[in-house]
Structure 1
Amino acid sequence: MNKTDGIRTEKLNIGYKTNLIEDICFSVKPGEIVTLIGPNGCGKTTLLKTLTGELKDRGGVVYLNGDDRAMLKASEIARRMSLVMTYKIKPELMTCREVVETGRYPYTGKLGILSDVDKQKVDEAMEWTDVSLLGDSFFTNISDGQKQRVLLARAICQEPEILILDEPTSFLDIRHKIDILVKIRDFVRKKNVAVLMSLHELGIARNISDTVVAIGEGEVMRIGTPAEVFEEAFIRRLYHIENTDIEILGETPWLK
């Protein structure tokens, strides 16, 4: 296993009954943040679901640290890649600590019994994401911002080499957006993981990303640095606002 590879796609086709996007080729290396942008319905979440294996690809290959994901056991994939995808988590009568503990299941036996090491990893992740005091609270009773931090703690204690996040700042106020993004950025620097996420906030995407992947019109339209992607003419085309007055947005730091 080559730990310098991160996640990479080769001629990947995604979709449901038909191809939504074809020939997707990009990579995310350890220590990098790569962000998917594009209008609603363009395929960002479909791509993330395909990369994680929740949705079967329609052709091509997904590599995890140089290995074909299709050839890996589910337990090995879980040890290499963790997810923060809120729509998948609807635990009933689970405390926040119990939710975080599920991040250690790839390392436990079939009974899911945590060792002392597992419990220490859970404690460290909850402390790092500032949710230790929420341990006994039911997950369904906490705020959206707190839920995102709990889910991030679960992903962190999984000790991933690759972290995938689907719109981690959606529905959060500005304070909690800043909080979750700073924690993600610090986690990348501290653990040298590869991070792939989707974002709607273009200003944030420009500031936090090493590379931006723009999806629209049934294809990957552009891959590059934020400076290369966030050109006014291109962003207007991507979001179909070529002839729209954007003055109401005020300052637009995501445009050149």
Structure 2
Amino acid sequence: MAAVETNLICIRNASIGYGGRAVVSDMNLDITSGTIAALIGENGSGKSTLLKTLIKEIPPVSGSIEINGTDIARLSARDIARTMAVVMTRMVRPEYYTCFDMASSGRYPYTDRLGRLREEDRTAVEEAMKLTGTWELADRYVTDISDGQRQLVMLSRAIAQEPRLLILDEPTSFLDIRHRMLFAKAVKELADRKHIAVLMSMHELDLVRDMADRFIALKDGRIDREDSVDSLTDDYIRELFRL
């Protein structure tokens, strides 16, 4: 039986930006479960601004944004954590954290005030790390592994959170080719196996073509085009990036 599609992100007539000044205006966008959607466009086009708005780092300037059917303004931090997980560009290097500790921190929406892990939490973390190929690193310190391995551990953390929506902001920017491919493979398996929605900002257009189902192109303060990744032609890329 096919999984039922759910609208995880619903944006209507929204403007996003900083200090009340819009970077992108008149946005209308839907992201459904099981879909991997890629935000593309020049630097400063609003990709990261949209992601920061969705994770409530900044408020929308105007319009309506709903996450899983609820207005974003009404969602608490715990509500957000139970619905959405985030992997950002910046590298995290906490001292004295093992890779298992880091991945298990994704279970915080479900643990008690002391952060104690139940058996089901440990199982979720183990499954997440096995999906990303990092289970063999579980006992190693986060500071003692490569950037590529560390980013895969951060993806494990996001998976262990059991989100319905995964937000990725340039997650492969500092990775070598091997770890980019491993990261892409894990995200695709996750979307397929768990039927979650993925919205990612990414500069590597070869990875966009390999990973995504759809692309959303931002240009000149608006959504310039939204379509199947099969229609992301070289001609359109030259037009979008003014080449």
Q: Same fold (TM over 0.5)?
A: yes
Q: CA RMSD in A?
A: 1.7
Displacement of 1:98 in angstroms is 1.2
1:192 to 183, 192, 195: 195
Give the residue type in structure 2 aligned to 1:164: I
Displacement of 1:93 in angstroms is 2.8
Give the residue type in structure 1 aligned to 2:178: R
Give the residue type in structure 2 aligned to 1:84: V
Displacement of 1:88 in angstroms is 6.9
- Say whether 1:10 aligns with 2:19: no
CA contact (8 A) 1:7 1:27 kept: yes
2:28 counterpart residue number: 25
Deviations 1:156-180 (A, max 9, x none): 1111100111112212121111111
CA contact (8 A) 1:223 1:229 kept: no
- Say whether 1:69 aligns with 2:62: no
Give the residue type in structure 2 aligned to 1:65: N
Identify which range, 213-222 or 151-160, moves more after superposition: 213-222
Q: Counterparts of 1:43-122 in structure 2 under 5 Å?
A: 43-87=46-90, 89-122=92-125
User: How many angstroms apart in 1 are the aligned matches of 2:234 and 2:35?
Assistant: 22
Q: TM-score, normalised by structure 2?
A: 0.92
The structure richer in strand per residue is 2
Count of residue pairs brought into register by the alignment: 239
CA contact (8 A) 1:3 1:65 kept: no
CA contact (8 A) 1:36 1:197 kept: yes
CA contact (8 A) 2:91 2:147 kept: no
User: How many angstroms apart in 2 are the aligned matches of 1:77 and 1:93?
Assistant: 27
Displacement of 1:12 in angstroms is 2.1
2:221 to 204, 218, 221: 218
Secondary structure at the counterpart of residue 60 of structure 1: strand
User: How many angstroms apart in 1 are the aligned matches of 2:185 and 2:85?
Assistant: 18
- Say whether 1:128 aligns with 2:131: yes
Give the residue type in structure 2 aligned to 1:109: D
Deviations 1:190-233 (A, max 9, x none): 0000011011111221232211000122221111112334350x
2:210 counterpart residue number: 207
2:162 counterpart residue number: 159
User: How many angstroms apart in 2 are the aligned matches of 1:92 and 1:54?
Assistant: 25
Displacement of 1:3 in angstroms is 7.0
Secondary structure at the counterpart of residue 34 of structure 1: strand
Displacement of 1:90 in angstroms is 4.2
Contiguous gaps of at least 5 residues in structure 1 = 242-256
2:174 to 171, 174, 177: 171
Displacement of 1:86 in angstroms is 3.6
Identify which range, 195-204 or 2-11, moves more after superposition: 2-11
Give the residue type in structure 2 aligned to 1:19: A
